Amino acid sequence: MYIRAASNISPQNTFGNQPFLQELVEYTGNKLTCIEPDYKSLIDPKLIRRMSRIIKMGVATGMDCLQQAGIEAPDAIVTGTAYGCLEDTNTFLSKLVLQNEEALAPTAFIQSTHNTISAQIALLLQCHRYNNTFVNGGASFENALLDAMMLLNEGDADTVLAGGIDEITPTSHAILSRMGLYHWPTTSNLNLLDNPEKETMAGEGSAFFLLSNKASGNDLAKIDAISCFYKPVGLSEIEQRINDFLSAQNIIINDIDAIINGKNGDVINDRIYKQLEQSLFANKQTINYKHLCGEYPTSSAFALWLAANAISNGSFPSAISTTDTPLKRVLIYNHYQNIHHSLILLSAC
């Protein structure tokens, strides 16, 4: 799949015509929240007031991605989200209790479903074509990419708009913090990986990609392969999965120029990455990204945006890597809570 365009709203300055992560945004709280743009240039102001924050982020990145690619409507829209529209869900459930289940406004309920974002994009574009949303926890975005790949390979679509999006709200953050996922770090997010603890910082984001099975001559990068695996037994199985994944593409680990991994500052979470850096990934350039966007189930969408732009620019920004080795192949390896593991291989066009 060729990545013709990519759009990203994140806790960093990544949306619009911004320099490629030249200046990183620092956070000292317990979560990283998205830097939202002025939506009026992409969404009708009359519709904005009816949209919750995650819907605005998703619609804006989707529409911006299509504008970059110069396409009015894609042949398919595929999204991945683990949490869905949490703000609308919380609003509806709160009013359900406060109003004793009477005289409830339906808007929050209608917009609380996980497929609201892809549906809103389709409604705005009047796109009556394939539309699907995957809700598979930490594998949601990868499954959306796999679906897009199948659509393109089987000839059911020439262009697919694929995205990964999740939000963090005060309520969800409080619940997930009680479950031990997040903590209040003593340092900023930029030093998150230097002070490993038992939890990590919460994050959120929305990233969309216009994918095609045909080269346009102006593509950012090419996705060669995607693979997901569930609850591996240990390091040896993970190494075998990675080697098999690369062998299927007729390459070895030495052919990879850089590896983007999912370190998030949690001691238990990062153990696998550190073990790989001492074995299979030894002497390879490794790039971290979760200190930029935080931890959330579809954060691999941010990693894909980072990899695609790095390949297009020829190198990673100096703010996150001092190595200027030309990039031809980049491997993304991420896992979410050591349950959902994924591999995405990208190469230069």
Domain boundary among 159, 192, 212: 212
> Look-up: residue for tokens 């913090």?
177
Together in a domain, 158 and 245: no
pLDDT tens, position by position, for the chain (349 residues)? 999 999 999 999 999 989 999 999 999 878 899 999 999 988 999 899 889 999 999 999 999 999 999 999 999 999 999 999 988 888 888 888 988 888 787 877 888 888 999 999 999 999 999 999 999 999 999 999 999 999 999 999 999 999 999 999 999 999 888 888 887 666 789 988 887 777 789 999 999 999 999 999 999 999 999 999 999 999 999 999 999 999 999 999 999 999 999 999 999 999 999 999 999 999 999 999 999 999 999 999 999 999 999 999 999 999 998 787 889 999 999 999 999 999 999 999 9
pLDDT for position 322? 79
Together in a domain, 123 and 185: yes
Together in a domain, 205 and 240: no
Together in a domain, 168 and 272: no
Do the domain assignments include residue 139? yes
Nearest to 41 by CA among 60, 55, 62: 60
248: how many CB neighbours lie within 10 A of its CB? 12
Yes or no: say if 142 and 344 are a contact pair by the CB < 8 Å rule.
Answer: yes
Do the domain assignments include residue 127? yes
Together in a domain, 140 and 257: no
Do the domain assignments include residue 81? yes
Q: Number of structural domains, the chain?
A: 2
Considering the entire predicted model, what is its pTM? 0.95
CATH number of the domain encompassing residue 334: 3.40.47.10
pLDDT for position 87? 87
Do the domain assignments include residue 260? yes
Helices (H), the chain: 45-48, 53-69, 86-98, 107-110, 116-125, 140-153, 170-178, 235-247, 267-278, 290-293, 300-313
Q: Which residues contact 298 (CB under 8 A, 6 or more apart)?
A: 80, 81, 82, 138, 140, 141, 164, 165, 166, 205
Together in a domain, 273 and 328: yes
pLDDT for position 95? 84
Do the domain assignments include residue 234? yes
Together in a domain, 157 and 120: yes
Do the domain assignments include residue 73? yes
For 200, the 3-state DSSP assignment is: strand
Pairwise CA distance, residues 309 & 218, whole Å: 12
Together in a domain, 202 and 226: no
Together in a domain, 68 and 184: yes
Yes or no: say if 141 and 332 are a contact pair by the CB < 8 Å rule.
Answer: no
Together in a domain, 341 and 227: yes
Together in a domain, 332 and 298: yes
Pairwise CA distance, residues 38 & 122, whole Å: 21
Together in a domain, 122 and 102: yes
pLDDT for position 315? 93
For 345, the 3-state DSSP assignment is: strand
> Look-up: residue for tokens 């620092």?
26
Distance of CA 116 to the CA centre of its chain: 17
Domain extent for 280:
222-347
Do the domain assignments include residue 217? no
